[in-house]
């Protein structure tokens, strides 16, 4: 993870010989060049990522309208943790979290089938991966027509003689969240399938042959061989999906439900937007953003830990 930075402190006392630069001189010049080349990305990140996150942390302890801020200590956090809506929102995030195992398991199974390389498997792969290129706005736009009262899902139920189930998923708080979760699983399906396909391509086919010779069925092979050998890829997909669930669904929710009905589909990231730009309490919204950051940071640290433990 660390770069090969030249740590040897080269003294800048090299003689100014023009024809053949001495190693020390070269080092110093190289390091100056290194800093110069790295400067643009450093400046960009400091100005538009580092300073804003520090500001967010600071302003989360203030009452702030964007112009004047007054220090109020941890009052925003006290208010937040005592706010039933906040816990409602957290529950919604938990529901999304509960859908993550499905968002892993389904692609894992399909990747396993895809890896059999039946005719047309390349086409299947491309088709599955297509939603990755589509914006959440467009996905939400179509999903809305799938789950609506007069939508595609109900037409389908009618067509197969299950018309009595007739749902109006977007009208109920819990069912609307389920609709968002289903759309979420659908959207990350392609990405996760590709990750697992890549992983399976690295596996030794001989292991499978050996298992087959030993009389292991497809299911046994899947559970006993594929899953353990793919653990690294499963963990990667798991973390990626988790972070997507927490930070990438704003547009989907904006288009599909607007966070409603009630607070039915408001997640943490959407709550930041609502409180900040619809209610206009910037300090309070900053505090919500910091809670979100803390969660994502914890997930990322867990990922780092897994990564480290593998290196040891």
Partner 1 sequence: MGIARRRVGRGLIFLVLCLVVVIMLFPFLFMVLTAFRSRDQYLTGQGFSLDSWRELFKFLPVVQELINSAVVTGGAVLLIIAVSTTGGFAFAKLGFRGSGFVFLGILAGMMIPMQSIIIPEFVNIARVLHLNNQYLGAILVYAALGAPFATYLMTTYYRGVPTELVEASVMDGASYWQVFRKVMLPLSIPAITTVAVLQFIQVWDDLLVGLLFLNEPHVRTITVGLAVIQTGRVVNVPALMAGSLLSALPAILVYLIFQRNLIQGLTMGVNK
**Smallest distance from partner 1 to CB 116, Å:** 5
From CA 288, how far away is CA 242, in angstroms rounded? Answer: 18
Residue number, 137 or 227, with CB nearest to partner 1: 137
CA distance 249 to 257: 11
235 CA to centre of own chain: 13
Among 303, 304, 299, 274, CA closest to 289 = 274
The count of residues interacting with partner 1 (CB under 8 A) is 103
257/278 Cα distance (integer angstroms): 16
Residues 6+ apart with CB under 8 A from 148: 154, 170
Q: Looking at residues 76 to 135 of the shown chain, list those that interact with partner 1 (rule: CB under 8 A).
A: 110, 113-114, 116, 118-121, 123-124, 126-135
Residue 63: phi, psi to the nearest 5? -95, 125
Q: Residues 261 to 300: which contact partner 1 by CB under 8 A?
A: 268-269, 272-273, 276-277, 282, 285-286, 289-290, 292-293, 296-297, 300
CB of 84 to partner 1, least distance (A): 21
User: Computed from CA positions of residues 173, 176, 178, 184, in that sequence, does the dihedral angle turn out positive or negative?
Assistant: negative
* Per-residue contact flags (x/-) with partner 1 for residues 213 to 242, judged by CB under 8 A: -----x-------------xx--x---x--
Q: Which stretch binds partner 1 (CB under 8 A): 47-55, 78-86, 89-97, 160-168?
A: 47-55
Binding residue for partner 1, selected from 24, 211, 247, 260, defined by CB under 8 A: 247
Residue 168 token pair: 């109006």
Stretch that binds partner 1, among 55-63, 80-88, 91-99, 157-165 (CB under 8 A): 55-63
Binding flag, residue 184, partner 1 (CB under 8 A): no
Fill in the DSSP letter of residue 217: -
Place of tokens 């020390």: 24
Please state the closest distance from residue 304 (CB atom) to partner 1, in A: 10
Q: Counting contacts by CB under 8 A, is residue 141 touching partner 1?
A: yes
């Amino acid at each position: 993870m660390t770069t090969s930075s030249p740590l040897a402190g080269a003294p800048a006392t090299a003689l100014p010989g023009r024809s053949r630069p001495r190693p020390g001189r070269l080092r110093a010049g190289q390091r100056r060049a290194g800093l110069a080349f790295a400067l643009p990305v450093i400046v960009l990140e400091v100005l538009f990522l580092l300073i804003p996150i520090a500001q967010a942390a600071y302003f989360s302890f203030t009452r702030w309208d964007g112009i004047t801020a007054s220090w109020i200590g941890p009052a925003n956090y006290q208010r937040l943790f005592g706010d039933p809506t906040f816990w409602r929102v957290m529950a919604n995030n938990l529901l999304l979290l509960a859908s993550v195992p499905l968002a892993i398991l389904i692609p894992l199974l399909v990747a396993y089938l895809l890896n059999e390389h039946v005719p047309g498997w390349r086409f299947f792969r491309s088709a599955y991966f297509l939603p990755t290129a589509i914006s959440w706005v467009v996905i939400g736009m179509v999903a809305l027509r799938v789950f609506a009262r007069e939508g595609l899902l109900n037409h389908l139920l009618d067509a197969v003689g299950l018309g009595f189930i007739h749902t109006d998923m977007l009208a109920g708080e819990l069912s609307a969240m389920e609709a968002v979760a289903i759309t979420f699983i659908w959207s990350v399906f392609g990405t996760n399938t590709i990750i697992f396909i890549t992983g399976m391509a690295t596996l030794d086919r001989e292991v499978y042959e050996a298992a087959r010779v030993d009389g292991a069925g497809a299911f046994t092979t899947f559970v006993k061989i594929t899953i353990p050998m793919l653990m690294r890829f499963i963990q990667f997909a798991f973390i990626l999906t988790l972070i997507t669930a927490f930070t990438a669904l704003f547009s989907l929710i904006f288009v599909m439900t607007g966070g409603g009905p009630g607070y039915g589909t408001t997640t943490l990231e959407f709550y930041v937007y609502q409180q900040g730009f619809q209610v206009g309490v910037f300090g309070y919204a900053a505090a919500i953003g910091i809670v979100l950051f803390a969660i994502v940071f914890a997930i990322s640290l867990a990922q780092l830990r897994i990564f480290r433990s593998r290196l040891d």
